[in-house]
Structure 1
Amino acid sequence: MEASKKRAKKMRLNRIAHLNGIRAFEAAARHHSFAGAAQELNVTPAAVGQQVRQLEEWLNVRLFNRATSGASRLTLTDEGERAFPDIHRGFDLIGRGLNHLFDEPQDDVIKVSASPSIASKWLLTRINQYQMQHGDIDILVETNVSLVDYADQSIDVGIRYGLGQWEGMCAQHLMFEDVFPVCSPDFAEKHGLSDVPPDLLNGIPLLHDHSVPSSSGYPSWQEWSDSVDVALPKKLHGLKINDFASVTELARRGNGLALGRSRLIEDELKSGELICPFDVKKYQYRSRFCYFMVWRLDEVQSEQIDVFRNWLLSSA
């Protein structure tokens, strides 16, 4: 009997009904109140409450805990908590689909997102190779230090630096990266770094990249110390900057010893503007953070985007 009830309920839920109630539930769950949902939906709080109650009766499931007093008068039940993320995502997808009806198609444009560092130091130096082969396709590169919403900004492909796990995104590995100390030749000579073992860095001005200060695995002096088994001074003084390009520029100008990321300092190493004052093979480590090519899980990729992704992989 219980199994037949479950089958009947599943068959019933395959027919989407009570859409107004579902919309009221989603809005109330976001606002944590019927009043907030009512303002958004342009109805009365009583109407929102009634729609939610009708939905609960249809489902035979209680979605909200309703309190008469306290700061949180409306909270989700366990069942409501389980249902809300997918329902919220569903309305978000409907909104995106409707927006596509008003957007002009741009089949000849591929929108790429990357951090300023990887864009300027790696991607843009190679992008002309792709454009020579595919002159009919325009590439729009958008740079941003923080993570962006690929759906809201219509990003087709991105390059991200991290551990390869981002909610709602597919990630394909592009490149590893090695990390080692770098400075200008004059700085190394001034501080006698070629004659100083790297475990005696007391008094050496250090430059710190704080782009992602709270993320475990992001290149830092402590990560370097742990990886190459070198003791650091008890107190790590130095300039802290939340931009790797600025850290590199200061090191190039002789303002301190920085941690170089191999993929981003290729030009400076080739020109001799930056050097590793120590035995690089001994005092470098392979970062846990890598570069990944990413795209949305729900994105329908065109043939042109597939071609670009394959080119990006071959370039890496």
Structure 2
Amino acid sequence: MNRIAHLNGIRAFEAAARHHSFAGAAQELNVTSAAVGQQVRQLEEWLNVRLFNRATSGSSRLTLTDEGERAFPDIHRGFELIGRGLNHLFDEPQEDVITVSASPSIVSKWLLTRVNQYQLQHDDIDVQVETNVSIVDYTEQGIDVGIRYGLGQWEDVCAQHLMFEDIFPVCSPAFAKQHGLSDTPPDMLRDIPLLHDLSVPSNSGYPSWQEWSDRAEVPVPNKLHGLKINDFASVIELARRGSGLALGRSRLIEDELKSGELVCPFDLSKYQFRSRFCYFLVWQQDEASRDMNDHVDRFRQWLISTT
């Protein structure tokens, strides 16, 4: 597009998508809910695309359509970049801020508790955490250090191994009892509700039920049925609630295993495998150009020491 029209509508869409409601967006934007709804409708008419599903009842009355889901991440990041640019105009440079980037699941299930510990020990340094599903440009977005899950081979960044991960099935104790799951898995998991994490494409080598089946030598149906979600944290939450058997990633379910909310119903010595993917700390390749300071390097080393 040569120009961006309906900027107020785009802003209203971004806020409503974050709050999952026009009312929440209206409160943030200091306008009425009706005004937010009207701006979004005008944007939809201009685009000739429906961005929200609007239900009249239920707990989630406002949900994104497939088109809205595809557009939201880039629009959200766009407003974040605008805000960051404006802060450069109004604020003095902050020397003691560490900006960390990671996927939402890593942030919520592993990183946040450690960042909180670090802040308590270093109250003179602020840590800013940004969640990103896709790979971002660290220079453009001012990221000091990131955590990525993969094989450690990425262009334009340095990568330092952080930790390995084991993969094994998990479920709630009640689910294991309900389905009679014991040390040995059933010959075929056809009748067991499976939960699938689609946050990364299966062809990327990301741990999958098929890989677990091959390694554990436990057949699974040719066509894998079950609930499919593109967010690991949501998959684990459903498993915790007893909705199915999920493929657990050891580093991201430590709390649930310790509390007993999740269990591996099978013999771990036989039915878990070490993932080919690992966690890596990554940072901009040309550190000299970014003037990497000591407190960022100390934070990286401290994070490694907590694994």
Structure 2 counterpart of 1:168, from 131, 153, 156:
156
Cα distance between partner residues in 2 of 1:313 and 1:124 = 14
Q: 1:195, 1:294 → 2: CA distance?
A: 39
Q: Distance in 1 between matches of 2:122 and 2:242?
A: 42
Amino acid at match of 1:278: F
Deviations 1:196-222 (A, max 9, x none): 634321211111101112443211001
Aligned match of 2:230? 242
Q: Secondary structure at the match of 2:207?
A: coil
Shift, 1:230, TM fit: 2.1
Task: Give the corresponding residue for 1:137.
Answer: 125
CA contact (8 A) 1:169 1:295 kept: yes
| 1:95-118 Cα shifts (integer Å, max 9, x gaps) | xxxx9xx77532111111011111
Q: What is the aligned counterpart of 1:219 among 207, 211, 223?
A: 207
What SS does the aligned partner of 2:283 have?
Answer: strand
Q: Which SS does the other structure have where 2:238 is aligned?
A: helix
Query: Which ranges of structure 1 fall in alignment gaps of 5 or more residues?
Result: 1-98
Instruction: Tell me if 1:309 matches 2:303.
Output: no
Amino acid at match of 2:294: E
2:162 maps to a residue whose letter is L
SS at match of 2:127: strand
Residue 155 of structure 1 aligns to a residue in which SS? Answer: coil
Partner deviation per Cα, 1:208-249 (whole Å, 9 max, x = no partner)? 101112443211001111222222222211111110001001
Q: Is the 8 A contact 1:183 1:256 kept in 2?
A: yes
Aligned-partner residue type, residue 164 of structure 1:
G
1:112 aligns with 2:100: yes
| Cα deviation, residue 132, structure 1 | 2.8
CA–CA distance in 1 between the matches of 2:294 and 2:185?
A: 53
The aligned runs of 1:39-188 (5 Å cut-off) are: 104-188=92-176
Q: Deviations over 1:75-128 (max 9, x none)?
A: xxxxxxxxxxxxxxxxxxxxxxxx9xx775321111110111111211111123
Partner of residue 287, structure 2: 299
Which has more radius of gyration?
1
Q: How does 1:227-306 map to 2 (within 5 A)?
A: 227-300=215-288, 301-306=292-297
Aligned to 1:65: none
* One-letter amino acid matched to 1:161: Y
Structure 2 SS opposite 1:124 = helix
What is the TM-score of this pair, normalised by structure 1? 0.65
Distance 1:249 1:278 in 2: 20
1:195 is displaced (CA, Å) by 6.8
Residue 194 of structure 1 aligns to a residue whose secondary structure is coil
Change (3 A) 1:195 1:124: closer
Could you list the per-position Cα deviations for residues 125-167 of structure 1 after superposition, in whole angstroms to 9, with x for gaps in the alignment?
1123322332111000111222222111100001111111111
2:152 is paired with a residue of what secondary structure?
coil
Alignment length (residue pairs) = 217
- Whichever residue aligns with residue 144 of structure 2, its letter is D
Question: Where in structure 2 are there 5+ consecutive unaligned residues?
Answer: 1-84
| C-alpha distance in structure 2 between counterparts of 1:242 and 1:185, whole Å | 24
- 1:198–1:278 CA contact under 8 A, matched in 2: no
Q: Distance in 2 between matches of 1:199 and 1:261?
A: 23
Name the Cα RMSD after superposition: 1.9
Note if contact 1:217-1:287 (Cα within 8 Å) is conserved in structure 2: no
Runs of 4+ with >6 A deviation: none
Going from structure 1 to structure 2, the CA distance change for 1:227 and 1:202 (only over 3 Å counts) comes to: same
Seq. identity, %: 75
SS in 1 for 2:199: coil
Partner Cα distance (2:134, 2:284) in 1: 17
